[in-house]
């Protein structure tokens, strides 16, 4: 994982934008007089989008290993199978 400052909002991932908007909406809903039912609905939407983000993140992490960019993972899998030539695709 790495962190990089991004100042051009056009480069923001759409899921990030949605999570940011929902997070701000939840925080501002009380100050703007939103009823509790509306606030809970915003929270549910935020939890849902964060779950989607975690899924996408996990998929991206697994892709790195499949491309051979983390050979220690491949070696560990090969060694545990007893057959170094066996593929797990």
54, part of any domain: yes
C-beta of residue 45 within 8 angstroms of C-beta of residue 56 = no
25, part of any domain: yes
87, part of any domain: no
89, part of any domain: no
| Residue 76: domain span | 13-81
* Tally of helices (H runs) and strands (E runs) in the chain: 3, 0
62, part of any domain: yes
Q: In the 8-state DSSP scheme, what is residue 86?
A: -
The count of domains in the chain is 1
pLDDT values of the chain reduced to their tens digit, one per residue, 89 residues: 567 888 898 999 999 999 999 999 999 998 888 889 999 999 999 999 999 999 988 887 776 555 555 555 555 555 555 554 444 44
86, part of any domain: no
């Amino acid at each position: 994982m790495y962190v990089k400052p991004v100042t051009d909002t056009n480069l923001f991932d759409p899921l990030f934008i949605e999570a940011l908007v929902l997070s701000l909406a939840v925080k501002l809903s009380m100050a703007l007089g939103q009823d509790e039912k509306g606030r809970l609905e915003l929270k549910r939407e935020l939890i849902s989008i964060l779950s989607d983000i975690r899924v996408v993140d996990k998929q991206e992490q697994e892709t790195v290993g499949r491309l051979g960019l983390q050979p220690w993972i491949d070696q560990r899998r090969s060694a545990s199978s007893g057959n170094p030539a066996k593929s797990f695709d």
